[in-house]
Amino acid sequence: MTVKKFNLPDVGEGLTEAEVVAWKVKPGDVVAINDVLCEIETAKSLVELPSPFAGTVTELLVEEGITVEVGTAIIAVSEGQDGEAVPATPRAPEAPAVEMPLYGKLPADDDAEDNRPAGGPLVGSGPKADAVKRRARKRPAGAVVEAATVAESAEGTVQDHQAVVEAKAAESPVSHRTATAPVVVAPEPQAPQTAASRGSAISGTISGLVNRVLAKPPVRKFARDLGIDLADVVATGERGEVTREDLVSYQAQRDAEHDQADSFWGASKKPQDQRVERMPVKGVRKATAKAMVDSAFSAPHVSIFVDVDASRTMEFVKRLKVSRDFEGIKVSPLLILAKAVIWAAARNPSVNATWVDNADAKGSAEILVKHYMNLGIAAATPRGLMVPNIKDAQDLSLKELALALNELATKARAGKTQPAEMQGGSLTITNIGALGIDTGTPIINPGEVAIIAFGTIKQKPWVLDGEVIPRWITTLGGSFDHRVVDGDLSARFMADVASILEEPALLLD
């Protein structure tokens, strides 16, 4: 039996230390190669460390919450007969005997990537005016009815199927639901002449439903009772749906914040030095602080602002949300701004660059203009500010860019952003409008020369064709490295970005 020690590795970009946040194993556990041993927090992100050995955990050499240097031994694993049998039985979640979606499955779209969870629950209510209810056809025990038939058949509505299946889903095993759950099905030869019109209504209903956050009706009601917006909750369900446990966790966090606010002030009878909380600066906060100081005091910042009539952008986003091509994809004005920034950077290349000081002791420097766009999106997370970027964003279609933005936001909120996803950025967007802020003067991300602040979009009085009318107005704020970007260039770039928000159709040129 050989005992091997696993040293803390450098998980990317020359990191020198990391904090052990949580152990996923304990002494005596049997692990296989690539089983997750622990979570560590680096200066960039939260990372899971897989085991390089198969065997039995003998000792955890570092306690949770301790920061250690790269190369420090953190765990001991004994290799031997106990561990050799492990790889034959890797850990895996139990799978149901018969795979069947709870509420239904949309037909596969051959022209687009399937960006929603397979068999995701379709929830909500659809139009009932044209609904034709028909008694469910009996099926032999063990038969599996394709959920896609519900959409193809015009003999019932989505909510009819949902209501029946939901009543059975909670307590009945899969095999029982398959045999007895009534499903509205009609053979194609017997479809009435008006099937096409009712099929269109059902298709419209499904389109509206899929654009919503996935959650079962009881969960939606629970969220309404608690006053929680489902879009703010990180979903952990198997099909990407928000569960009751997600809501409970979110509410507990919110209650804790409220409790902290109520008890924030210390008792005035205590000395002031006893009413000061000391918070160590480490991990992401430490890295962010260093990066911001380096940027603010090395790159001379210049900031400019422009008010934009984004009414047509709002109309365009509204059309995308009901488009079949964007079913299941969250669409917001940030998508149009991202596309606008990419378009404007191609017309003003020097905003997509890096200033590099040469190490020749002569004070010489170079400007590296990047012919690619790794578009950074500043993300506020519980662990601090992160700026992951979308690689080669210039090659993505509008739909692909929307998917990339959704994935980036989901991973950032869950703390799963990897160090490689925050390296090599070329230009950054910070969406301060999501917090209701009009504009700001953001600090440029190190290694870049421009950053755009996207303010909130709100209705304001606006002069159009000599008349004052309400329009959707936003303010863009841009900060630029004046060593690279002159006033004229920054103004032209901001004007180009604004022109797309005012008229998204220009993207078709």
Q: Please give the positions annotated as active site.
A: 482
Q: Tally Cβ neighbours within 10 Å of residue 432.
A: 20
Q: How many residues are present in the chain? A: 509
What's the half-sphere exposure (Cβ side, CA atoms, 13 Å) at 413?
A: 13
Answer yes or no: are the C-beta atoms of 65 and 27 closer than 8 Å. Answer: no
Q: What is the C-alpha to C-alpha distance for residues 272 and 266, in angstroms, rounded to an integer? A: 9
Residue 369: φ, ψ to 5°: -90, 125
Other CB atoms within 10 Å distance of the CB of residue 395: 11
* Nearest by Cα to 58 from 89, 22, 29: 29
Say if CB 365 and CB 385 are below 8 A apart: no
Written in H, E and C, the secondary structure of 60-102 is ECCCCCCEEECCCEEEEEEECHHHHCHHHCCCCCCCCCCCCCC
DSSP three-state, residue 200: helix
Phi, psi of 55 (to 5 degrees): 165, -155
Residue 357, classified by CB atoms within 10 Å of its CB into exposed (0-12), middle (13-18) or buried (19+), is exposed
How many CB atoms sit inside 10 A of residue 401's CB?
Answer: 20
Q: If residue 16 lies in a helix (H) or strand (E), which one and from where to where? A: none
Burial category of 1 from C-beta neighbours within 10 Å (exposed 0-12, middle 13-18, buried 19 and up): exposed
Q: Please, are residues 502 and 336 in contact by the beta-carbon 8 Å criterion?
A: no
Residue among 152, 131, 124, 151 at smallest CA distance from 211: 124
- Token representation of residue 497: 């970005």
Residue 80 CA: distances (Å) to CA of 2, 23, 28, 30, 90:
6, 23, 13, 11, 17
* Structure tokens, 158: 């989505």
Measured CA angle at 313 (ends 369, 106), to 5 deg = 100
